[in-house]
Amino acid sequence: AQKVTQAQTEISVVEKEDVTLDCVYETRDTTYYLFWYKQPPSGELVFLIRRNSFDEQNEISGRYSWNFQKSTSSFNFTITASQVVDSAVYFCALSAAGGFKTIFGAGTRLFVKA
Amino acid sequence: GAGVSQSPSNKVTEKGKDVELRCDPISGHTALYWYRQSLGQGLEFLIYFQGNSAPDKSGLPSDRFSAERTGGSVSTLTIQRTQQEDSAVYLCASSLDRALGHEQYFGPGTRLTVT
């Protein structure tokens, strides 16, 4: 069975703080993809990043960085120097090569206060 | 360019009535997904289309739910004899090609309220 767990339901930080959103996944497939999506208050989900299971390199994009560790089945997302515009619900998702579903975690709601 | 569009944006219906929700994916995207998002919850997978066929219908909650896609483009999700527990935001997404693990592009959703 495939599963994505985002244990943090809500996180509240003050602007300029760094924040890490946790994502733990389960799958028996050796080939899979992991994603992060952002859902701002406007409601429309926006794709942020995709990693495949064979690429454990961490990635940095501006203030965003992602840490993929197969040993712990985790794909964590860090926002450095958070801004109010980062306030949103963030979803981690898993898609295995053999199936059709993309399994989403329950999401982490991030509040960034000015 | 045009993104994924969904209509209507809001739908209020009485319990027992049928509703149709429409999704217009990004042109050229062969894969199309329907999800349901209840208030404050994550996304629940409903159904996936590759072209006009639906290899995976396992997420449909009951036989009151059905979906079709014609011409490899527009998709309609139909809910018959709506119940109050069907109230949710129904999201549609499309992607270039499912087989390559492409990211999904989401529409704004249809907020369904069953009274």
CA A86 to CA A81: how far, in whole Å? 10
Q: Please determine, for residue B1, whether its predicted confidence score (pLDDT) is greater than 60.
A: no
| pLDDT at residue A94, rounded to an integer | 93
Question: What's phi and psi for A71, nearest 5 deg?
Answer: -60, -30
Put simply, whether B109 touches A (Cβ < 8 Å) is yes
| pLDDT at residue A90, rounded to an integer | 97
3-state secondary structure of B38: coil
| pLDDT at residue A99, rounded to an integer | 61
Put simply, whether B98 touches A (Cβ < 8 Å) is yes
Across the strands, what pairs with A96?
A32
Q: Which of residues 20-79 of A touch B (CB under 8 A)?
A: 33, 35, 37, 43-47, 50, 52
Contact between A106 and B42 using a beta-carbon 8 Å cutoff:
yes
Tens-place pLDDT, residues B14-73: 999 999 999 999 998 988 999 999 877 789 999 988 888 887 788 899 999 999 998 889
| pLDDT at residue A73, rounded to an integer | 95
Q: Which amino acid is at B89?
A: V
Chain B hits for A45, CB-CB cut-off 8 Å, are 91, 93, 104, 106
Residue pair A2/A99 in contact by the 8 Å Cβ criterion: yes
Angle among Cα B86, B88, B94 to the nearest 5 degrees reads 110
Put simply, whether B34 touches A (Cβ < 8 Å) is no
| pLDDT at residue B67, rounded to an integer | 95
Stretches in chain A below the pLDDT threshold 70: 97-100
| pLDDT at residue A101, rounded to an integer | 77
| pLDDT at residue A23, rounded to an integer | 98
| pLDDT at residue A96, rounded to an integer | 81
| pLDDT at residue B23, rounded to an integer | 97
Mutation site, A9, A75, A100, interface B, largest B CB count within 10 A: A100
CA A26 to CA A29: how far, in whole Å? 9
Chain A hits for B89, CB-CB cut-off 8 Å, are 43
Tens-place pLDDT, residues B63-109: 999 999 988 899 999 999 999 999 999 999 999 876 657 789 999 99
| pLDDT at residue B40, rounded to an integer | 72
